[in-house]
Amino acid sequence: MEGPELLRLWALAGLALGVSLATDPDHRVLPDLRLSAETGTIFVHELQREPFLEAFGGSEDDDAPVTFRAHLRGRPDLPRWLRLAQRGPGLPGFLYGHPPATGPGTHSVQVLAYNRRTFTTVSQLLVIGVTRSPGGDAPFQAEFLVGNRDVEELLPGPARALFLQASAGLWERGDLRVTNVTSALHRGARVPLPIEGRREGVYVQVGSHSPFSPCLVAAVSPQSRARCHRGQRPLASCYDTFAPHFSIRWCNLTLLQVVPSPSGPGPLWGSGVLEEGVAFEPPPEAAPRELLPSFLVTLLVPLAVAALLCLFLGHLMCCRREGVEKRDLETSDLQLLHHGSIAGDTRELRLMAGSRDVPRPLSTLPMFPVRPGQRPQPPGPAPLGARAPLLPP
C-alpha cells in the first residue's frame, strides 16, 4: 500500500476514535474561535473553505475538495442539538441546531478539515457559549414544510431573512425569528430522485410572542384538514406571501403553543481548581445499612408462599380422592353385576382368541428375507381349528 493511502487511513482512524492529530506532520491548527448562541433561536455557523485552504498552503489547493468533520473535544460525537451539514467537498459546511432551554453552558467543538487531494488536515476549536434568551422562548410557533429547498439553502443568513420577510406577510408581526431548521430526511422523508428540480424539503420553525394570525388558524382547521385528505388545498388566504421563492406545503403546517415552564437557577460551575489556603473537604461517608432484614424478607417470603402452595396441592391430589371402595359402595348392585359380567366376557374372549392357531396376516410378514437368497414360504391352507366356531352348537 502506498504512503499517501496509509496516511489517509491513519487520519480517518484518528478522526473516528477522537485521537489528537497534533503529532501528524501534515496537520495544522487554526486559532480558536469563540461563538455565542441563545436558547429559543437557531444557531448557524458557516464553515468557510478559504481559511482552511490557506492553512493547507500551496496555490494548487485553491480548488481542493475539502470534507469537514466535527465532534466535541474529547468525545466522538456532537451534542444532540447540533448538526453538521455539507452537500459536497466543493461546498462550505454548516454547523446548526436549536439550543435547548435546559442546555446553557459552553461547548468545545473540534472541527477537522480534510483535504481529499493531498491528505492533509487542518483543525480548529470552536468554543460555543450558550446563554438564555432575554425574552424567553417564543410561545407561539409555526412549522412550515418548504418543498423546493434543501437544508443547506435555508441555513445562510440572507435565505433566513427572506423567509422571515415572507412569514411577516401572514403573521403581521415584527418579532418573528427562526427557531429551528430541520431537513425532511431527518423526519422520515425519502431521498428524492436524482432529477433536476427535486429537493429534499426543509422544516422551518418560526416563533413569535404574538398570537397566530387568522390565516394560519384557518389553514389548520378541521375543514382544511378534510380538504387535504381529499387532495385539495386547505382553506387559507395567504398562499401568495411565500411565492415565488418558497413552495409551502400547507397540508403539513403545524401550529405549536409552547408553555414556558418555571425553572430554578442552575448549578454554578467553578473552574475545578481549589483556591490557595482552602482545604478540600470530601463528602461524609454514607452510614452503614443493615441488610439482614431485607435479605430475610427477600428469601423467606417466597419460600413460605411456595410451601403453602405445595401443601394446598398435596391436599387436593392426595386427600380428596374417593377411591374404588367408596365408588363401589355408592353404585347399585345391579349395575356392578352388569359391569362385572361385561368384564368377565371380555377377558374370556381375549383368552380364546390368544389360543387360536391362525396364520399371521400377509401384511405382518417381512418384505425381504432375513438371509440372502432365502425365499419366504407361501402361506398354506388354514387349519381346521381356525374354521371351527368359537362356541359349540
Q: What is the CATH number of the domain that holds 53?
A: 2.60.40.10
Q: Do 162 and 252 share a domain, yes or no?
A: yes
Range of the domain at 110: 22-132
Residue 342 located in a structural domain: no
Q: Do 197 and 251 share a domain, yes or no?
A: yes
Q: Do 103 and 150 share a domain, yes or no?
A: no
Q: Which residues of 234-255 are buried (b: 16+ CB within 10 A; e: fewer)?
A: bbbebeebbeeebebebbbbee
pLDDT along the chain (393 residues), means of 10: 50 48 67 90 90 76 85 89 90 91 83 87 91 83 89 90 86 81 88 82 89 86 88 77 84 82 58 72 82 91 95 86 76 86 88 70 62 56 49 50
The whole-number pLDDT of residue 193 equals: 80
Q: Which three cell numbers stand for residue 306?
A: 411456595
Q: Do 122 and 44 share a domain, yes or no?
A: yes
Show which of 259, 288, 317 is a domain's final residue. Answer: 259
The pTM (predicted TM-score) of the whole model is: 0.59
Q: Do 164 and 63 share a domain, yes or no?
A: no
Number of domains in the chain: 2
Residue 3 located in a structural domain: no
Q: Do 184 and 244 share a domain, yes or no?
A: yes
Q: Do 182 and 97 share a domain, yes or no?
A: no
The whole-number pLDDT of residue 309 equals: 95
Decide: 343 and 372 in contact? Cβ < 8 Å. no
Residue 208 located in a structural domain: yes
Which bin fits 136, alpha (ψ -120 to 50), beta or left (φ > 0)?
left
Decide: 357 and 385 in contact? Cβ < 8 Å. yes
The whole-number pLDDT of residue 70 equals: 93
Show which of 221, 237, 259 is a domain's final residue. Answer: 259
Q: Do 173 and 119 share a domain, yes or no?
A: no
Which residues lie closer than 8 Å to 97 by C-beta, 6 or more apart?
Answer: 42, 43, 79, 81, 82, 83
Residue 164 located in a structural domain: yes
The whole-number pLDDT of residue 17 equals: 42
Q: Do 92 and 146 share a domain, yes or no?
A: no
pLDDT tens for residues 356-381?
Answer: 666 666 666 666 655 655 555 555 55
Which bin fits 58, alpha (ψ -120 to 50), beta or left (φ > 0)?
left
Q: Do 222 and 191 share a domain, yes or no?
A: yes
pLDDT tens for residues 42-59?
Answer: 999 999 888 888 888 765
Decide: 253 and 144 in contact? Cβ < 8 Å. yes
CA-CA distance, 338 to 148, in Å (whole number)? 95
Residue 203 located in a structural domain: yes
The whole-number pLDDT of residue 376 equals: 55
Show which of 132, 165, 191 is a domain's final residue. Answer: 132
Residue 314 located in a structural domain: no
Long-range contacts of 191-199 (CB under 8 A, 24+ apart): 197/148, 199/147, 199/148, 199/149, 199/150
pLDDT tens for residues 16-28?
Answer: 444 445 455 667 8
Q: Do 247 and 167 share a domain, yes or no?
A: yes
Nearest to 152 by CA among 144, 141, 161, 160: 160
- Cα-flanking dihedrals φ and ψ of residue 374, to 5°? -90, 135
Residue 384 located in a structural domain: no
CATH of the domain at 181: 3.30.70
Residue 335 located in a structural domain: no
Q: Do 255 and 170 share a domain, yes or no?
A: yes
